[in-house]
Structure 1
Amino acid sequence: MFEACELMKALQALNPQSTEFLSFEKISGLIHAFRANEEDLNHELNSAKRMLERCYKDVSDNEKSKSLLDLVRILGPYEEAFPEFYRLAKISVVLSVSSASAEGSFSALKLIKTTLRNTMGNERLGNLAALSIESRRVKSLDLEVFVDKFAENHKNRRILLQ
């Protein structure tokens, strides 16, 4: 079984900031996890190292790629030349984002699910979580539009007191 720690170490070898950047030994964990062709990947990594060294020969450290996403953007035009490497780099970008977004979602749930709200149903909890997770998007909405729409759809919203 391929463990999460080994996966993270292998992903780190695709990070341009890493001291083990493009180390075949470190990346080999990804080969088994994502069924990459080992021989092709080895050749692609060697070629990519030389290509990146030539690209960055006269470039200052500030202008060099600093993240895995930068690396994927650089490799984009060369996708056919480095198919295995490019595929693993794209998978790595997605894995990083999905684990970070999952952690963010759990943090949002922790804030929402307080002792006062312990009895709320799953549907309401899910809706509040979506609002919390997408807070930037929610803040950009005009609430007056929603109030007007609600008033239009529910014209007779009166509470009868007895």
Structure 2
Amino acid sequence: MPLKYCRSQCYDNVAVMGGHKSGVQERIIEKNTKAVFVSCENHSLNLAGIHAASEESITVTFFGTLDALYNFFSRSTMRWDKLRKAMPITLKSESETRWIAREEAVKPVCHHFDDLVILLEEMSTDLKGNNYDVMGELRTRVKKRMPGGTNVDVGLSAKQEIMRLMKGKSSGLLDDERMKENCLHVGEFYSDLDGNELYEEILDCRMLLASRTDVQIFTPEKLIQFIIQYGDENVFPNLTVAIQLMLTVGISIASCERSFSKLILIMAYLRASMGQDRLNALAFLSSDREEAELINFDDVIDNFASAESRRVQN
């Protein structure tokens, strides 16, 4: 792709890529000032979570306890077998570099906390408790004041909160004057659109959506789909380009790095002679494991067998 057409670049926080003096992003901006650089939000959020957790003593103790629980059960096949019988899912280890791994470590304890405590109590009171090396005090069981009372009953869910914020945008967080200034600024930066016309098109599109009570727009993708369905690309040309630019700007490279991590696991030493087609297929199955588990392989085998049987014999 010619560099002059680039409108976005996204890297992690490594200096050689995101450095403001001699990093890759700075060298590209020198050749194309419209190639906006965005630091990967997932990497930044991961670093923020790790450093924030390391500054709070309660959080350090919490994750230290999770790690101690995992080490306690994983270092003994007998203890691990008892854990698997007591809980439908097993404990996970945390990671110092991937915050998502800590989230996965919290889920089993959060969802099956009572089962885990009961198991530890049984192991501590067992006549063979010395084999488990369990030390601790039995907890005092406290009944809930109201049946079914949980913290989930309080406040909005994450989905409800997002919907509330998106609906609030329709009332307008920016007044028309500031919105016009932003449109002019975008028009000055990008030669792909006109700022004044963009402002007028936003006002017209807002009036159109206000009159269409049957249409609900909450994402940029839905908005551009509505524009395309309403007419052709000449209806709101500048607004269409602005939305395309916004959707083009990369904000994360975590999914790309995940695919390379899968390739490292698949392309092992004993598979060094693997062809490109098979490597791509295995990488796809590995990165999209959830979708692959939904496939009925018996149907795939039957379709493959029927296709092979229809081949013309020479």
Give the TM-score taking structure 2 as reference length.
Answer: 0.32
* Deviation of the 1:100 alpha carbon: 7.4
* Deviation of the 1:52 alpha carbon: 3.7
AA matched with 1:142: N
The structure that has the greater radius of gyration is 2
Match of 1:113 among 264, 267, 272: 264
Match of 1:66 among 196, 218, 226: 218
Give unmatched runs, 5+ long, in structure 1: 7-15, 154-162
Answer yes or no: is the 8 Å Cα contact 1:72–1:89 preserved in 2.
yes
Answer yes or no: is the 8 Å Cα contact 1:44–1:82 preserved in 2.
no
Aligned length: 132
* Deviation of the 1:107 alpha carbon: 0.8
Please state if 1:48 is matched with 2:207: no
* Deviation of the 1:69 alpha carbon: 0.9
Distance 1:26 1:74, change over 3 A: farther
Cross-structure match for 1:11: none
Where does structure 1 differ by over 3 angstroms across 4 or more consecutive aligned residues? 16-22, 55-60, 90-93, 99-103, 133-137, 145-150
AA matched with 1:74: F
AA matched with 2:202: K
Cross-structure match for 1:27: 186
For residues 288 and 188 of structure 2, the distance between their equivalents in structure 1, rounded to whole angstroms, comes to 34
More helix by share: 1
AA matched with 1:67: T
Cross-structure match for 2:237: 83
* Deviation of the 1:143 alpha carbon: 0.9
Alpha-carbon RMSD across the aligned residues, in angstroms, is 4.2
* Deviation of the 1:82 alpha carbon: 1.9
Please state if 1:127 is matched with 2:281: yes
Give per-residue Cα distances to partners, 1:19-77, cap 9 Å, x unaligned.
Answer: 68672244237623xxx2x4xx22431222222443465899xx863321122123222
Answer yes or no: is the 8 Å Cα contact 1:24–1:42 preserved in 2.
yes
Partner SS for 1:65: coil
Give unmatched runs, 5+ long, in structure 2: 1-31, 39-165, 309-314
* Deviation of the 1:80 alpha carbon: 1.9
AA matched with 1:138: A
For residues 130 and 21 of structure 1, the distance between their equivalents in structure 2, rounded to whole angstroms, comes to 43
Please state if 1:4 is matched with 2:155: no
For residues 289 and 252 of structure 2, the distance between their equivalents in structure 1, rounded to whole angstroms, comes to 14
* Deviation of the 1:91 alpha carbon: 5.0
AA matched with 2:37: C
Partner SS for 1:5: strand
Distance 1:101 1:146, change over 3 A: farther
